Amino acid sequence: MKDMQGTLRRLSRGIPTVEHVWYGGGAGSILVRAALWPVARVYDAAMLVRSRLYDSGVLDAAAPDLPTISVGNLTVGGTGKTPFSAWLAFKLKVRARPAIALRGYGDDETQVHARLNPDVPVVVNPDRGAAIREAKKHGADIVVLDDAFQHRRIARNADIVILSAEQLLRPHRLLPAGPWRERLPAARRADVLVVTRKSATPAQTERAIEMIRIAIPDVPIVVAYLAPDRLVNAVDDDTMSIDKLRGAQVVALAAIGEPELFQTQLEELGARVSLTSFRDHHTFSDDEINAIAARVPSDGFAVCTLKDAVKLAGRWPGPSRLWYVSQQLVVEQGAEEIDRLLKRVLDARASATTNAS
């Protein structure tokens, strides 16, 4: 009992995350960012040199065994890259046999893809060339590279960059002082830019789009919204209307990039939310799971994301049930740009098939 109380106290204080350093306004966060600023400058210079070496042809990109679409981002987490990659694979299934290849920072992303597209092979390998070859052995004729924008050793037929409206409106601090892997102008390498929003208003999203248009005027922009669709039970896939959250007491947990946006989504649905957040890809201990479950009131809900549900489904204790928010990707602007890009890649697939025969 004493161990459980200690765990609850730690959870109630909140677990320190890198987001506190990146976005916090307190003296501690500012001091840490100042200490990391020289490292961020070195990192920035290294990324710029590397990019120029590839742009000039000094470093070569190897031709893959199959046509590929890269879905990547400029920041660490929080953009909706994984659900967008899954949505893209779903669209490709109509005319092709896609596979998804990813580096594999954690089993959660692999399981999310398997849940969203159970009939699409998922290959995990930091060697993207080897991953594409393995996908081909599984019968795939086109590959979606999840999180590969900075992986330039493999050529691709199309590059999609996902940008979060929420992150665009914050300071663009580079790693490790912030979440940005590259500066915004690096997205000029992309064929299409997709601006996703979770809690940003239409006016805020438009400001983010204008920022992109100024920095990158020649790349088409698509706007997509990750809309909460329904609640799904993590164990048996039972579903419940999202309207059930209105006025309800919700104990939420999230081990994702920018977990506070998940809380905002739940609050916009009318829930009264108590959030426990963890670092992205966090591995939950039994004590953490039991402590959170113990806080769920008899008339309330325990709610997480699909990314968390795939890790917690077989470990969640009773009597409460664990639900995750199923999100539907809605393209609000620029759907024709995605169709145009997919046609180009599918044409490359048809050409490759003809040449092989």
Model pLDDT, residue 348: 87
285 class by beta-carbon count within 10 Å (0-12 exposed, 13-18 middle, 19+ buried):
exposed
Task: Give the pair of three-digit tokens for residue 79.
Answer: 């953009």
Helix 2-13 and helix 286-294: axis angle, to 10°? 80
Model pLDDT, residue 116: 92
Residues 6+ apart with CB under 8 A from 30: 24
| One-letter identity of residue 164 | S
pTM: 0.88
Sorted by where each starts, the structural domains of the chain and their CATH numbers stand as: 68-220+334-356 (3.40.50.300), 228-328 (3.40.50)
Q: Measuring CA to CA, which residue among 251, 220, 291 is closest to residue 8?
A: 291
SS (H, E, C) 26-83: CHHHHHHHHHHHHHHHHHHHHHHHHHHHHHCCCCCCECCCCCEEEEEECECCCCCHHH
Q: Measuring CA to CA, which residue among 256, 347, 348 is closest to residue 308?
A: 256
Model pLDDT, residue 14: 42
Q: From the CB of residue 284, how many other CB atoms can be counted at a distance below 10 Å?
A: 16
Secondary-structure percent of the chain, ordered helix, strand, coil, rounded to 5? 45, 25, 35
Local confidence pLDDT in tens for the 357 residues of the chain: 444 434 434 443 444 468 778 988 888 889 999 999 999 999 999 999 999 999 999 999 999 999 999 999 999 877 889 999 999 999 999 999 999 999 876 678 889 999 999 999 999 999 999 999 999 999 999 999 999 999 999 999 999 999 999 999 999 999 999 999 999 999 999 999 999 998 888 999 999 999 999 999 999 999 999 889 999 999 888 999 999 999 999 999 999 888 888 999 999 999 999 999 998 889 999 999 999 999 999 999 999 999 999 999 889 997 889 999 999 999 999 999 999 999 999 998 887 766 665
Give the span between the Cα atoms of 136 and 151, in whole angstroms: 20
| One-letter identity of residue 234 | A
Q: Measuring CA to CA, which residue among 137, 144, 88 is closest to residue 116?
A: 88
Give the span between the Cα atoms of 6 and 140, in whole angstroms: 50
